[in-house]
Chain A
Amino acid sequence: MEAAEEAALVHRAQQGDVAAFTDLYQRHSRWVFGVALRLVYNPGEAEEVTQDTFVQVWKSLPRFRGESQLRTWIHRICVNRCYRSNTKRAAHRSEELPDELVSTDPDPGTVAVLRGEMADLQRALAALPQGLRAALVLREFGGLAYEEVADALGITLTAARSRIHRARLQVVSQLSAPPTPIGTGTTGPFKEASA
């Protein structure tokens, strides 16, 4: 989205224009929901977090001065809501994702594969410390740049970069590999370890 166009929408929403706010919601909600889904592990809670995030955005918009990107600011609110949600529920719950969230692909086989991969990913993310998980999720599923991740989490760029790199390697290494491509094996510096 053009920065000027978004700034105009923000200005109108700050004046109480619900149509402009709805436009902002439609542009950012998929990313916010995607991040919430990976940080709270439960579609129902992710919906609640997304809802609360955008209501908070509406309430706080008059104080938004454009010092950071709107999407960074929205994601900061979302991450805080996710942390609060997880604190309320000490034990993370992992539920199966509804088909509507997994894919619009009509092929049940494809949906099943994606569902399995998504569940695999959720398990790998759950094994990460909260700070690493949030950094990786904002980068991979929120579409934020390194600088924006740092801003959203209130950490330095160096720390954000380090967290993303470490988290990505840890998660990727824990995912189940699809059928091994021809010509590869487990030789070299990497070795298989029991899960």
Chain B
Amino acid sequence: MDLTWPATLACGTRPELLLASVTDGDSSVPASHITTCPSCRDALRQLRPRLDVLQRTGTIPAAAPARIQGQVLARIRHLRAGALVEIADGGGRTAVSADVIASCGRMAAEQVEGVHGVQVTLRSPGLVLEVRLIVGFERPIPEVVAAVRLAIDAMVEHQLAITTAGIDIDVADIDLPSVA
């Protein structure tokens, strides 16, 4: 049998606030009122045994099943090895090779004007792309680097629906024009 209750008890106290006062130490209803008010005391007499059930079941479970830890760590070791990156597609679990993501990044960077050479690797944990660039002399390096970041982000987002955690770029060399 369910209990139903009025919006306020005869004393004007809201029953949900009365319950909060005895469970969470909420101060909406003063303890001095609860101990002396017949309406509140009567309400609590009915609610307390049921409240005990709620609090008793709060200790269940004592621990998560041990097998979950093994499953989590197995997936993490796989991710950590950089072999696979999991992406959410809403229909189940999908994993993409880290090489695929690095290739997308490389293709995007190669299309940026001023980039003369690219190397992309994936770092775990997270999804951080590490990019090494050889840039040309025809364009300012900060502009090239900013354009590479934008291009990689857009390509990875478009092709794989992945948002990168970061793109770290090292300009490893500059390709100077040959002097005739």
Chain A contacts to B: CB under 8 angstroms: 13-14, 16, 18, 21-22, 25-26, 29-30, 32-34, 37, 47, 50-51, 54-55, 58-63, 84, 97, 100-104, 114, 117-118, 120-121, 139-141, 146, 161, 164-166, 168-169, 171-178, 180-181, 183-184, 186-195
Which among A59, A104, A191 has the highest number of chain B CB atoms within 10 Å?
A: A59
Q: Is the CB of A173 within 8 A of B51?
A: no
> Chain B binding site: helix, strand, loop or mixed by DSSP?
helix
For residue B2, which residues in chain A have a CB less than 8 angstroms away from its CB? 173-174, 192-195
Given B9, B42, B65, B79, which contacts A101 in the complex, CB threshold below 8 Å? Answer: B65
Known contacts A16-B80, A55-B75, A59-B125; is A168 also within 8 Å of B16 by CB?
yes
For residue B90, which residues in chain A have a CB less than 8 angstroms away from its CB? 84
Interface residues of B in 58-85 (CB under 8 A from A): 58, 60-65, 67-69, 71-73, 75-77, 79-80
> Chain A binding site: helix, strand, loop or mixed by DSSP?
helix
Interface residues of B in 78-121 (CB under 8 A from A): 79-80, 86, 90
Identity of the chain B residue whose Cβ is nearest the Cβ of A120 in the assembled complex: B53
Q: Is the CB of A30 within 8 A of B63?
A: yes
**Which 4 A-B pairs give the minimum distances between C-beta atoms?**
A62-B126, A188-B42, A33-B64, A173-B3
Interface residues on B, range: 35 or more
Q: Is the CB of A29 within 8 A of B64?
A: yes
A140 to B57, CA, bound (A): 10
Q: Is the CB of A34 within 8 A of B60?
A: yes
A82 to B62, CA, bound (A): 20
Interface residues of B in 14-65 (CB under 8 A from A): 15-17, 19-20, 23-24, 26, 39, 42-43, 45-47, 49-58, 60-65
